[in-house]
Structure 1
Amino acid sequence: MATTTRTDTNIWPLLPAADAVALRSWLARIGFDEGVLVTNDDGNVQHSEMLWPEGGRLMVATADPTNDHHRGGPGSASIYVVVGDPDGVHRRARDLGAEIARPLEDTDYGSRGFTVRDPEGNSISFGTYSG
């Protein structure tokens, strides 16, 4: 397997959510910082950002089948977040009662990490592997 020393933090995946405000709150409790929040007149989240303290961010918006940018259904995303302290994030996830989809483990390619499902069903992996 080829590896590189380059670290990328400029891709912003979108999590379409049935309850985007609740998902933002859950992400904040697991360690993301709250960023921009833009709602429409109906109270739906048109655009929002959750910032990972070590770099990178997620966008969270209310799922909307009529909007090409928010079309994917809730629970359809799979995200990887590079972290320096996967054990600490794992403790926060466990304390939140998050569904642990893959236990905290060391991999044969030099990473330590785990995977949770957020309340919307998205798969979010946290690990030390940064490419």
Structure 2
Amino acid sequence: MSRLTKNDDVCISCHRCEAICAWVHDIVFNPRRGRVIVDLDYPDEHNIRICIQCGRCADACPMEAIYEDYTIVTTGERGIFILDEDKCTGCGKCIEACPTEVLQYYPDRKMPRKCDFCQGQPMCVKYCPTNAIGWVLG
């Protein structure tokens, strides 16, 4: 059972996790397009928002565009929830259902961004200089 972890206390808000995520998925270095979000509330307070793969987005999707893939098993022996872009209509129900508010809407693609744990090799973890984001293998 693998999962992402976060430690807000050591985050330096460099936004590398967001930038590398955008690069891996969209081939653009734009932190605003990452599937990881780092909020800077105050100069010394950071809040990392990550997908916890809870499946609420899949439950909310009327088009069944988000499905569970068991290639990588996560906490609770669940799979990773993957967005099938061909089925997505961009209705936003998954975004409304996301408890961590990490699902964001792509205006240019008319659909949300959905974390897929980089298929078990999360780049946000690999490139985080302070280990604020971790990958626990189960």
Task: Confirm or deny a common fold (TM above 0.5).
Answer: no
- TM-score, normalised to structure 2's length? 0.28
- TM-score, normalised to structure 1's length? 0.29
Q: Which has the bigger relative contact order, CA under 8 A and spacing at least 6?
A: 2
- Higher-strand-fraction structure: 1
- Higher-helix-fraction structure: 2
